[in-house]
A = this chain, B = another copy of it.
């Protein structure tokens, strides 16, 4: 399938992010007005809440867009997701008779402030990248114990903190935390000195479940995908994570892209997970390709400096798909909720320049990375970190918008500074 042409001319550019094939879901505001649901098309946001209000977009069970989040649309189910795409496709298609009615609902992206696209019910982060798990395991436990015994059998995950998920553009404050260096007898409480990013994709769960679901059912429950940066304080993590896993090291913030790319837009880009090194138990096996060919990059821009791309990789590097992760998530009978967010785990490729975290890129700080005008082992105050991603079609791209955040200096005295 090639580019689907739109009368919105900027949507037809080969290197744009938001052709008619995409139609990602976001929440925007203009000039201090209340945030509302919108869909990106070319250089514009289509005010779909406005379309619904005006009676031009009627969805089963609606109104669904009269709230500043996409959860109500998700909850309406996959048929409504499909009908939404079909109707928007008709409205925006080159030569559409509806152009005159729809055009007044286009808002230039440059005028729009983007907000959290959905209410995050709960947030789970996985560890499903083979290269990342090996790299980090090597540093934390030595290469001989790098890959935990369970790693090739289950998509390991842990529950994260939904309250800390923020939209691209939100500054991220360097956290304080308890740390203990190997040469110190006692821990101390201080700002993190090893504050890092993690390049991930996030899957947005659009259907609730009770009881266990199959991998195929799990795939059908996914509404769409976002870019996700799981900011991580490595020094805090190293001290706290045994035996119950990461906690405060991961709770400062998790940044997501402003646009949820619906699963339907990614269909042409499905790829299989890599060959299994050991066979999976039947309940975790995939019946078809459930990963996606999505090119990803990490860029770092120091305060007042130029941007350096630190890493280029691809979501297809993951060992487990989001569908497998979600199926595993339900094995215990754990109820899943509309708006649950599943982080893929860090996407690292096999080469040094395709690693998805500074921990790996600088090998625990031992091999600082060269950037324009400096070097980095971990993030410094004022650094802006940007994730980008796109699926490459024939003559078009499916993008997510930048997933960016700037690191603010730690508070001098953290208690009460947030008030």
* Docked-complex contact A150 and B240, CB < 8 angstroms: yes
* Docked-complex contact A213 and B247, CB < 8 angstroms: no
Docked pose: A348 CA to B233 CA in angstroms? 32
> Within the complex, what minimum Cβ distance (angstroms) separates A58 from chain B?
29
CB contacts (< 8 Å) of A328 on chain B: these are 248
* Docked-complex contact A283 and B335, CB < 8 angstroms: no
> Within the complex, what minimum Cβ distance (angstroms) separates A140 from chain B?
7
Stretch in A172-180, A221-229, A392-400 touching the partner? A172-180
Q: This chain: how many copies in the complex?
A: 2
CB contacts (< 8 Å) of A154 on chain B: these are 178, 187, 239-240
* Docked-complex contact B161 and A160, CB < 8 angstroms: no
Docked pose: A337 CA to B333 CA in angstroms? 26
Q: Is A188 an interface residue (CB 8 A)?
A: yes
From B157, B158, B159, B418, contact of A210 by CB (8 A): B418
Q: Which residue of chain B lies nearest to A278 when distances are taken between CB atoms in the complex?
A: B186
Q: Is A62 an interface residue (CB 8 A)?
A: no
* Docked-complex contact A248 and B414, CB < 8 angstroms: no
Q: Is A163 an interface residue (CB 8 A)?
A: yes
CB contacts (< 8 Å) of A180 on chain B: these are 149-150, 153
CB contacts (< 8 Å) of A140 on chain B: these are 243
* Docked-complex contact B251 and A163, CB < 8 angstroms: no
* Docked-complex contact B240 and A176, CB < 8 angstroms: no
> Within the complex, what minimum Cβ distance (angstroms) separates A202 from chain B?
16
Q: Is A417 an interface residue (CB 8 A)?
A: yes
Docked pose: A164 CA to B186 CA in angstroms? 37
Docked pose: A149 CA to B239 CA in angstroms? 9
Q: Is A209 an interface residue (CB 8 A)?
A: yes
Q: Is A142 an interface residue (CB 8 A)?
A: no
CB contacts (< 8 Å) of A236 on chain B: these are 332
> Within the complex, what minimum Cβ distance (angstroms) separates A341 from chain B?
13
- Chain A, range 234-248, C-beta contacts under 8 Å to B: 236, 239-248
Q: Is A122 an interface residue (CB 8 A)?
A: yes
- Chain A, range 318-341, C-beta contacts under 8 Å to B: 328-329, 331-337
Q: Mark A36-71, 1 if CB is under 8 A from B, else 0.
A: 000000000000000000000000000000000000
